[in-house]
Structure 1
Amino acid sequence: MIERRSCRALLLSLTFAVLPQVALAVDDCTRLTATGNPEYPPYLWRDPQDPQHLVGANADLLKYMAGELGLDVDVKYSGPWGRAQEEVRTGRVDLLAGYFLTRARQNEVNFIEPPFLHTPSVVWVRSDSAFAYKGWDDLRGLKGGVLVNNSHGEQFDEFARTNLNLEAVPGARQAFEKLLHKRSDYVIFEQFPGMALARVLKVDEQVQVLEPPVSSEGLYLAMSHDSPCNRPQLREQLAAKMREIVSSDLPQRLVARNLALWRQQQENVAAP
Structure 2
Amino acid sequence: MLAREIGVSIEVKYAGPWARVQEEVKLGRADLIAGAFFTQPRLEYMDYFYPAFRQTRTVIWTQNNSPLNFKKWNDLVGKQGMTVINNSFGEEFDRYAKDSLKISTVPSLEQALKMLSMSRTDYLIYEEDPGLAYVAKMNIAGVKTAATAVTNEDLYLTFSHKSACNTGEMRGRIAKAIYKLGKQNVMSKLIETNIQLWRKQSR
Q: Is the shorter-chain TM-score for this pair beyond 0.5, marking a shared fold?
A: yes
Instruction: Give yes or no for the alignment of 1:212 onto 2:117.
Output: no
Per residue, is there more strand in 1 or in 2? 1
Q: Deviations over 1:62-120 (max 9, x none)?
A: xx122121101000121222111211111001000111111111111101111111110
The residue aligned with 2:9 is 72
Identify if the C-alpha distance between structure 1 residues 263 and 183 changes in structure 2 by more than 3 Å, giving closer, same or farther: closer
Q: Which has the larger radius of gyration?
A: 1
Once the 2 structures are TM-superposed, how far is the Cα of residue 150 of structure 1 from its aligned partner? 0.7
Q: 2:139 touches 2:199 (CA, 8 Å); kept in 1?
A: no
The residue aligned with 2:164 is 228
Per residue, is there more helix in 1 or in 2? 1
The residue aligned with 1:194 is 131
Partner residue of 2:105 out of 160, 168, 172: 168
Letter matched to residue 214 of structure 1: V
Q: 2:129 touches 2:191 (CA, 8 Å); kept in 1?
A: no
SS of residue paired to 2:188? helix
Paired with 2:118 and 2:164, the residues of 1 have a C-alpha distance of 45
The residue aligned with 2:47 is 110
Letter matched to residue 117 of structure 2: L
Letter matched to residue 26 of structure 2: R
Letter matched to residue 250 of structure 1: V
Once the 2 structures are TM-superposed, how far is the Cα of residue 121 of structure 1 from its aligned partner? 0.6
Q: 2:85 touches 2:106 (CA, 8 Å); kept in 1?
A: yes
Once the 2 structures are TM-superposed, how far is the Cα of residue 194 of structure 1 from its aligned partner? 1.7
The residue aligned with 1:264 is 200
Partner residue of 1:245 out of 181, 188, 195: 181
Once the 2 structures are TM-superposed, how far is the Cα of residue 263 of structure 1 from its aligned partner? 2.2
SS of residue paired to 2:71? coil
**CA-atom RMSD in angstroms:** 1.4
Q: Structure 2 matches for 1:118-129, cutoff 5 A?
A: 118-129=55-66
Identity of aligned residues (%): 37
Instruction: Flag structure 1 segments of 5+ consecutive residues without an equivalent.
Output: 1-63, 268-272
Once the 2 structures are TM-superposed, how far is the Cα of residue 197 of structure 1 from its aligned partner? 2.2
Instruction: Flag structure 2 segments of 5+ consecutive residues without an equivalent.
Output: none
Paired with 1:180 and 1:125, the residues of 2 have a C-alpha distance of 8
Paired with 1:209 and 1:216, the residues of 2 have a C-alpha distance of 14
SS of residue paired to 1:200? helix
The residue aligned with 1:95 is 32
Once the 2 structures are TM-superposed, how far is the Cα of residue 257 of structure 1 from its aligned partner? 2.2
Q: Which runs of 4+ in 1 moved over 4 A?
A: none
SS of residue paired to 1:85? helix
Instruction: Give yes or no for the alignment of 1:179 onto 2:116.
Output: yes
Letter matched to residue 125 of structure 1: T
Paired with 1:69 and 1:197, the residues of 2 have a C-alpha distance of 30
Q: Deviations over 1:231-252 (max 9, x none)?
A: 1221111111111111122222
TM-score by length of 1: 0.71
- Number of equivalent positions: 203
Identify if the C-alpha distance between structure 1 residues 106 and 202 changes in structure 2 by more than 3 Å, giving closer, same or farther: same
